[in-house]
């Protein structure tokens, strides 16, 4: 009788081992060919990280130049320098184009949904993570288009571009918050920390709609984009290490280190904003010392139109 029981238990153990092996293989296969295969790599996180880094650095340069123009412009002028106006057209175009390319990659990359949202035969959704990424890119594309429209029709005072950029950041954070179901603790935690700069940037950009021409607020928003960029790289290094040594996803000390590391990233982002802004200010000061009558965009500040006529009339009197 004991022999029969041992034989049955041995067969059950073998069956359990085979089942666990199959389940592990199927899980690994789903990770490789699942809906998140575009983002599930180091390069998939480095690409948006690079975009946010460059975008943040450009915002620092733009806001510093604009603040310098605001403090040095002649009385009665309210428009930006021609150089900044041209660059904002390019900024909006690049933002819209990059979003369009992102949507195409998510949809038509091998294994993508190819514009199919629901599978009627299997009664299931198709690659919802890809669709979530497309939704995020869509809102950033809308933000780029709104920037072009705002500049084209002289609607800068309405700050529609700040409103749409804030909504794009909010949608990014909203989707990421519900994007982490079933992931290991370290993976979920490091992606959750990303929500801090995303929502902070959304709030600060929304405040720019109501608080205009505040250089501290504008540079803070730019710093949150830089922080997003560096943290995307951190996610790539931790979840997909280049040296092949994987982190223990369940060890609590790893979560503590990642949380502390975020503070280092925040300090680095603030230093980068301060250094970049100071460099732009010093360059402007250097060139303005050589030719004080020249403004950004190669536009002189000599009196024109009615101002010149008034000066000539006062001389005659």
32 or 94, higher pLDDT: 94
Q: What is the DSSP string of 228-283?
A: HHHHHHHHHHHHS-TTS----TT-HHHHHHHHHHHHHHHHHHHHHHHHHHHHHHHH
| Residue 263: other Cβ atoms inside 10 A | 9
Q: How much is the pLDDT for 39?
A: 63
**Enclosing domain of residue 215:** 38-316
Share of the chain above pLDDT 70, in %: 75
Domain annotation covers residue 15: no
Q: How much is the pLDDT for 156?
A: 75
pLDDT band at 140 (very low <50, low <70, confident <90, very high): very high
Q: What is the pLDDT of residues 58-92, one digit of tens each?
A: 999 999 999 988 887 654 455 667 778 888 899 99
Question: Between the CA atoms of 168, 172, 177 and 178, what dihedral angle is there, to the nearest 10 degrees?
Answer: 100
Question: Do the strands 124-125 and 118-119 form a parallel or antiparallel pair, or are they unpaired?
Answer: antiparallel
Tally of domains within the chain: 1
Domain annotation covers residue 27: no
Distance CA 171, CA 176 (A): 8
- What sign for the dihedral angle of Cα 185, 191, 197, 203? negative
Domain annotation covers residue 288: yes
Average pLDDT of the residues in 293-312? 42
221 or 33, higher pLDDT: 221
pTM above 0.95, yes or no: no
Average pLDDT of the residues in 121-146? 93
Domain annotation covers residue 3: no
Distance CA 242, CA 208 (A): 39
Domain annotation covers residue 17: no
The pLDDT of residue 134 is above 60? yes
Q: How much is the pLDDT for 86?
A: 87
């Amino acid at each position: 009788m004991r022999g029969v029981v041992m034989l049955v238990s041995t067969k059950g153990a073998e069956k359990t081992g085979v089942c666990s092996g199959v389940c592990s293989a199927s899980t690994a296969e789903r990770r490789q060919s699942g809906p998140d295969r575009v983002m599930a790599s180091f390069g998939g996180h480095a690409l948006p990280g690079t975009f946010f880094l460059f975008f943040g650095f450009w915002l620092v340069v733009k806001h510093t130049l604009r603040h310098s123009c605001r403090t040095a412009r002649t009385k009665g002028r309210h428009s930006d320098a021609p150089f900044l106006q041209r660059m904002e057209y390019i900024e909006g175009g690049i933002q819209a184009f990059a979003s369009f390319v992102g949507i195409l990659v998510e949809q038509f990359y091998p294994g993508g949904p190819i514009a199919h949202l629901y599978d009627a035969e299997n009664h299931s959704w198709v690659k919802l993570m890809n669709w979530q990424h497309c939704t995020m890119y869509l809102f950033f594309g809308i933000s780029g288009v709104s920037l072009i429209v705002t500049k084209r029709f002289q609607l800068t005072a309405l700050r529609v571009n700040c409103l749409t950029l804030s909504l794009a950041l909010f949608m990014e954070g909203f989707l990421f918050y519900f994007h982490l179901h079933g992931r290991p603790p370290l993976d979920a935690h490091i992606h959750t920390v990303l929500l801090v700069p995303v929502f902070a940037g959304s709030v600060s950009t929304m405040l720019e709609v109501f608080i205009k021409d505040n250089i501290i607020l504008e540079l803070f928003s730019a710093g949150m984009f830089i922080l997003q960029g560096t943290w995307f790289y951190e996610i790539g290094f931790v979840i997909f290490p280049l040296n092949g040594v994987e982190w223990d996803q369940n060890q609590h000390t790893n979560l503590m280190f990642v949380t502390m590391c975020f503070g280092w990233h925040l300090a680095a982002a603030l230093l980068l904003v301060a250094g970049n802004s100071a460099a732009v200010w010093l360059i402007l000061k250097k060139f303005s010392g050589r030719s004080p009558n020249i403004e950004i965009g190669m536009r002189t500040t000599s009196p024109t139109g009615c101002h010149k006529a008034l000066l000539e009339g006062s001389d005659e009197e």
